[in-house]
């Protein structure tokens, strides 16, 4: 069944009484907020894993509840979510994901039980590794399965951005807007913390702080880089505000370009 992702997003915003907010979609950033991404990467590397901190846990569980409500809206409007049981990832590129959903195919999600963080990672205290009460493919899904499904749909499919740093930041900005401000610290930690570390963590940075480019002797291809440790924590509210400010500027620039193209 072919589903209009923007209509589903608007329907969810109405359900969540967030319909006064703007639906952010349709841009790939022309640049990245490098200073902010570096700060986030450093904090993510240094920060503690705090799944049992009361404030952190409350925010994560509320984020999980909101993701579950997003999934409910998706399925009510015809989106069928499946767990990908075969080896590897369900989609090699963002384009493959978008083309599959454009053709009305089911949305496949890489199961949490097949991989979540470094190999062998287990953490009974991580709120995202709790069962959600939602059944997918005959099994009770983890909260993390639901977060992955909603992020692919309301993030990658809505924005149609690639699986790279610029694309992931655009996707994070779009999906962040569908969560209440009270959970933005957790959302930024999950969506931007890990990807920032992947591109600007200590495994990448040179001693002088520079980043190798493709073709350099010390360049590490993404497929050979380690996964970030799973760290349940909150990003500072001022960094959330800085990220949102960057996203609004990128979105406004994209809208201006589209308007100019319409006039040509």
Q: Please tell me the total count of domains within the chain.
A: 1
> Tens of pLDDT along 190-235?
999 999 999 999 999 999 999 999 999 999 999 899 988 999 999 9
Look at residue 112 and tell me if it is in a domain: yes
Q: Confirm whether pTM is higher than 0.85.
A: yes
Spell out the alpha helix ranges (H) of 138-236. 143-151, 158-159, 165-176, 184-188, 194-200
Look at residue 16 and tell me if it is in a domain: no
Measured CA to CA in angstroms, residue 147 lies from 39, 66, 187 at distances of 24, 9, 10
**Containing structural domain, residue 115:** 24-263
Report, as an integer, the average pLDDT of 163-176. 93
Residue 70 confidence class, pLDDT cut points 50, 70, 90: very high
Over 50: is that where the pLDDT of 5 sits? yes
Over 50: is that where the pLDDT of 31 sits? yes
> What pLDDT score was predicted for residue 258?
41
Look at residue 18 and tell me if it is in a domain: no
Look at residue 2 and tell me if it is in a domain: no
Look at residue 28 and tell me if it is in a domain: yes
Among 150, 153, 87, CA closest to 115: 87
Residue 12 β-bridge partners:
none
> Looking at residue 155, what DSSP letter applies?
I
- 260 φ, ψ to 5°? -65, -40
The string over 227-257, giving b where at least 16 C-beta atoms fall within 10 Å of a residue's C-beta and e elsewhere, is ebebbbbbbeeebbebbbebbeebbeebeee
Residue 131 β-bridge partners:
142
Look at residue 30 and tell me if it is in a domain: yes
């Amino acid at each position: 069944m072919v589903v209009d992702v923007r209509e589903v997003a608007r329907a969810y915003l109405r359900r969540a009484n967030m319909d006064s907010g703007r639906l952010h979609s349709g841009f790939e950033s022309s640049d990245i907020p490098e200073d902010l991404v570096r700060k986030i990467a450093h904090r993510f590397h240094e920060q503690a894993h705090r799944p049992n901190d009361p404030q952190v846990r409350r925010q994560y569980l509320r984020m999980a509840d909101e993701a579950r409500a997003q999934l409910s809206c998706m399925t009510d409007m015809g989106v069928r979510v499946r767990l990908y049981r075969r080896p590897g990832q369900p989609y090699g590129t963002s384009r493959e994901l978008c083309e599959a959903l454009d053709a009305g195919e089911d949305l496949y999600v890489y199961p949490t039980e097949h991989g979540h963080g470094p190999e062998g990672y287990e953490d009974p205290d991580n709120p995202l590794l709790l069962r959600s009460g939602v059944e997918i493919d005959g099994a009770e899904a983890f909260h993390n399965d639901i977060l992955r499904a909603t992020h692919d749909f309301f993030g990658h499919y809505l924005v149609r951005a690639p699986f790279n740093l610029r694309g992931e930041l655009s996707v994070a900005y779009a999906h962040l807007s569908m969560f209440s401000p009270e959970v933005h610290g957790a959302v930024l930690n999950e969506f931007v913390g890990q990807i920032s570390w992947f591109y600007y963590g200590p495994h990448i940075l040179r001693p002088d702080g520079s980043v190798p480019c493709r073709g350099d002797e010390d360049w590490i291809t993404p497929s050979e880089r380690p996964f970030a440790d799973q760290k349940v924590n909150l990003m500072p509210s001022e960094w959330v505000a800085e990220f949102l400010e960057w996203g609004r500027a990128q979105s406004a620039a994209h809208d201006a370009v589209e308007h100019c193209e319409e006039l040509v």
